[in-house]
Structure 1
Amino acid sequence: MTLRLHRFALSGHAHRAELLLNLLGLRADLIDVDLRGGEHKQPAFLAKNTFGQVPVLEDGPEDNPVVIADSNAILVYLASRYDEQRRWLPVDPVQAAQVQRWLSVAAGQLASGPAAARMVTLFKAPLDHDRAKTVAANLFAVLEQHLAQQDFLVGSAPTIADVALYSYTAHAPEGGVSLQPWPHIRAWLGRIEALPGFVPMPKTAVAA
């Protein structure tokens, strides 16, 4: 088994892939992509992901690997391929659908809310910061209510749904979105951080 994760260390999308690798106890070579230098838009990288985005996972020999682009797709692949007990991606149709629902939230409200707000403050992205903070607040209100009823997003054990939402939620303060109003979310973050194999994403700002 040879796993290679092409990533940017401050990307929450890349971190969720790295986090699941560690939670599964999988070793992978971490290959940093120079986003500021435009490496992700060069032909060599575009051959791995035509959208020119990190992360990209390669599994297998360098001359003929399985290539998986998109962070949520990587989570599904890793959980399906390497988690024999299917703890992280349940087989049960109802639970599998619930996981997919949260993956859609990760690609939707989480990306346009906390992630977008962080892009503005850290990377000067030309996005509407006020709108992003409003989307984040609305998302966190729903998430807070949901986590008041259970320890993890789908049932009583962590799944890739939790992994998908963790990084940008934990780092929302870097985008000017405080977590102080949301005790159940903060408790959920703590439960994820207590999991064996947890690895943090580097922090770049003082938490709000």
Structure 2
Amino acid sequence: MILYDAHHLPECYAVRLFAALVGAPLTLVPVDVYPGHEHRSDDFLARNPLGTLPVLVDGDTVWTDWQEMLAALALRHDAAWFPAHDPALIGWLGMARDLAASLGLARLIDTFGAPGDAAAARAHADVLLDEIERRRWFGERAGKVWVMPQAHPTIADVAVFVFIALCEDAGLSLRDRPALRRWIDRVRFAPGFIAMSGVFPPMANVTR
């Protein structure tokens, strides 16, 4: 599989991370979004007319939605990560898209000079983080260590993790959100976990 990838985008990181977690080999093709705008080139638009990243190619099959890529990789490599029978999965994937449109947007504005209202995006993201903290707090007390009821992580964990783990880049903090911090650590200790700029591996995984 070939992944057209921008290293700094959380959506791209989600696909790289999940592929690593399930042991799916990827060939990465870097796309210079900032400042190169290669995603607007004729060559790239011929592959994905929407001009969005990531893009995953497997033979004649092309995926242009990052959550669809997570589902496709799960179904191919380990379907336990994709509990399609549970309606809560749709809610969590929707939450991830809301995080992309708020926390993710604030990060792009602050870090890469993207257009938009960073303060409004941050305010929306703050509300979402409080709600996820509340769900995690009650979930832990019910013995649920992942965002879904399953006893193992799912693509929902990956989908929201890639934004929340980068919240400081958006001017937000997890200092008063201990349940989220504990959940983030659990994801980081998952076998196969890989880091990106701004998201660090657990100390036990650091090569000295």
TM-score, reference length from structure 2? 0.88
In structure 2, the partner of 1:131 is 120
Contact in 1 for aligned 2:70/2:155 (Cα 8 Å): yes
- Distance in 2 (CA, whole Å) between partners of 1:125 and 1:43 is 22
- Distance in 2 (CA, whole Å) between partners of 1:32 and 1:179 is 31
In structure 1, the partner of 2:179 is 184
- Distance in 1 (CA, whole Å) between partners of 2:10 and 2:120 is 20
Q: Which residue of 20, 23, 40 corresponds with 1:22? A: 20
Select between 19-28 and 34-43 the one with higher mean Cα deviation: 34-43
In structure 2, the partner of 1:44 is 43
Segments of 5+ residues of structure 1 without an aligned counterpart are none
2:4 is equivalent to residue 6 of structure 1? yes
Alignment map for 1:98-113 (pairs within 5 Å): 98-108=88-98, 110-113=99-102
Contact in 2 for aligned 1:167/1:201 (Cα 8 Å): no
In structure 1, give the amino acid aligned to 2:198. K
RMSD (Å), alpha carbons: 1.3
Deviation of the 1:82 alpha carbon: 2.3
In structure 1, the partner of 2:130 is 141
Select between 192-201 and 148-157 the one with higher mean Cα deviation: 148-157
2:113 is equivalent to residue 120 of structure 1? no
- Distance in 2 (CA, whole Å) between partners of 1:104 and 1:81 is 23
Q: Which residue of 152, 158, 161 corresponds with 2:153? A: 158
Segments of 5+ residues of structure 2 without an aligned counterpart are 200-208
Deviation of the 1:112 alpha carbon: 2.2
Deviation of the 1:196 alpha carbon: 0.5
2:53 is equivalent to residue 54 of structure 1? yes
Deviation of the 1:38 alpha carbon: 1.9
CA distances 1:156-183 after superposition (whole Å, capped 9, x unpaired):
3210001111111100101101111111
Select between 139-148 and 74-83 the one with higher mean Cα deviation: 74-83
Identity of matched residues, %: 33
In structure 1, the partner of 2:206 is none
- Distance in 1 (CA, whole Å) between partners of 2:91 and 2:73 is 18
2:80 is equivalent to residue 87 of structure 1? yes
Residue 47 of structure 1: SS of its match in structure 2? helix
- Distance in 1 (CA, whole Å) between partners of 2:45 and 2:112 is 22
Contact in 1 for aligned 2:24/2:73 (Cα 8 Å): no
TM-score, reference length from structure 1? 0.88
Contact in 2 for aligned 1:48/1:69 (Cα 8 Å): no
In structure 2, give the amino acid aligned to 1:147. R
Residue 83 of structure 2: SS of its match in structure 1? coil
- Distance in 1 (CA, whole Å) between partners of 2:68 and 2:42 is 22
Contact in 2 for aligned 1:80/1:89 (Cα 8 Å): yes
In the alignment of these two chains, the number of paired residues is 192
Select between 31-40 and 189-198 the one with higher mean Cα deviation: 31-40
